[in-house]
Amino acid sequence: MNRMRDGLLRILDRFGGRRMLVAGDLIADEFLYGRIARVSREAPVLVLEYRELLSVPGGAANAANNLLDLGCRVSIAAVVGMDEAGRKLLEVLARKGAEVRFVRKSRSYATPVKTRILAGAYHSSPQQVVRIDRVPAQTVDSQALWDRLTHRARSFEGIILSDYGYGSAGPEEASRVAAAARSLCIPVVVDSRFRMGEYSRVTAITPNITELEAAEGITIGGNEGLLHRVGKAVLARQRLSCLLVTQGRFGMTLFEPQRKPVHIPVFGTDEVADVTGAGDTVIAVFTLALACGATAEEAARLANYAGGIVVMKRGTATLTRDELRAAVETCPEDARR
């Protein structure tokens, strides 16, 4: 009997219509595509002929976009600038059904924009050659925003905090929301780029291995024993219900109190097309599965499938329930459990 696979499919059936809150830093991800034409006469650099510029939701906006494509009802809490990037982000998300009334527009803040320039010859796949980040000169004050959200925690079935360091979400806000959500059994899951060590008593944190190494000031590399010691220490010190560490082509490892770490091999091939935004997809599916009553391991396995799907797509990508279902049904790994 394929108990794990059948259990994952049952959880997938509950995805539709879940009320999810995504709070954090909204980012505009731009992808500028060009064809290599020649080497410049002015300097030893390539000259690219412009082909197209695509702009898609990134950061917390990408996590929300993933949840929308999985059939959820999504509310977004954030601060954006009163600029073109912020306006377009909100337009795209609202058009897909997101509730954006908790998004504050600020004249003193610039919406972060990350522009990736990709180049390729006529018959080759484009490769990223440089990234240009336009970041706000100052972080934002989101105190009033979080005062409102803390009192509305019971309105949601799952809460994601996406902290890219621009000020829309932080450890203090996470602590307040987690305290309000704890008695209601609402999962609060955090993805923090630069300060994961400051978050405590939330349901889970989902760092990649590089973020974990930076937070702990060590190099783990492929040392499994060291990863297990560090993961258990973080779990206990920060009083988490679970810790999910993503490791790129090596899969992910789940830590829970009083349980052995569970390593989940990467789904699909390790020859990826683009890892941009994969962490946003992972936290979206992981939190959504927890909100549907999944165990931490079930949620991690679904998140692993989701991450494996989106890294095979170009750019900042999302996935559908049908894609996720097909992956669960066809992969033999979980069917044997």
Q: Which domains does the chain have, with CATH numbers?
A: 3-26+58-110+138-335 (3.40.1190.20)
In degrees, rounded to 5, the angle at the alpha carbon of residue 197 between the alpha carbons of residues 113 and 300 is 80
Q: Give me the pLDDT at residue 176, please.
A: 84
Residues 93 and 26: their CA atoms lie apart, in Å, by 11
Residues 152 and 105: their CA atoms lie apart, in Å, by 20
Q: Give me the pLDDT at residue 315, please.
A: 76
Whether 76 and 95 have beta carbons less than 8 Å apart is answered as no
Residues 337 and 329: their CA atoms lie apart, in Å, by 13
pLDDT at 334 > cutoff 70: no
Mean residue pLDDT across the chain: 90
| Residues recognised as catalytic | 280
Residues 82 and 181: their CA atoms lie apart, in Å, by 31
Q: Which two tokens stand for residue 328?
A: 């669960």
**Higher pLDDT among residues 336 and 294, named by residue:** 294
- State the Cα torsion 265-237-284-280 to the nearest 10°: -80
Whether 57 and 24 have beta carbons less than 8 Å apart is answered as no
Q: Which two tokens stand for residue 253?
A: 């490892």
Q: Which two tokens stand for residue 192?
A: 């923090």
Query: Which residues pair with residue 188 across a beta bridge?
Result: 159
Split at pLDDT 50, 70, 90, the class of 184 is: confident
Residues 142 and 314: their CA atoms lie apart, in Å, by 33
Alpha-carbon 245 to chain mean position = 12
pLDDT at 1 > cutoff 60: no
Q: Which two tokens stand for residue 292?
A: 């549907």
- Per-residue pLDDT tens over the stretch 281-333: 999 999 999 999 999 999 999 999 999 999 888 878 899 999 999 999 987 65
pLDDT at 137 > cutoff 90: no
Question: Whole-angstrom distance between the N-terminal and C-terminal Cα of the chain?
Answer: 8
Q: Give me the pLDDT at residue 272, please.
A: 59
Whether 272 and 4 have beta carbons less than 8 Å apart is answered as no
- Per-residue pLDDT tens over the stretch 207-264: 999 999 999 999 998 899 999 999 999 999 999 999 999 998 899 999 999 999 999 9
CA-wise closest residue to 169 among 229, 103, 72 = 103
Whether 76 and 62 have beta carbons less than 8 Å apart is answered as no
Whether pTM > 0.85 for this model: the answer is yes
Split at pLDDT 50, 70, 90, the class of 271 is: low
Element (H, E) at 62: helix 60-69
Q: Give me the pLDDT at residue 246, please.
A: 95
- Per-residue pLDDT tens over the stretch 15-60: 999 999 999 999 999 999 999 999 999 999 989 999 999 999 999 9
Percent of the chain at pLDDT > 70 equals 95
Residues 231 and 43: their CA atoms lie apart, in Å, by 48
Whether 126 and 120 have beta carbons less than 8 Å apart is answered as yes
Residues 266 and 5: their CA atoms lie apart, in Å, by 16
* Range from 136-140, 142-146, 229-233 that averages highest in pLDDT: 229-233
Which residue do the tokens 């040392």 mark? 223
Q: Which two tokens stand for residue 321?
A: 């329930």
Residues 285 and 60: their CA atoms lie apart, in Å, by 13
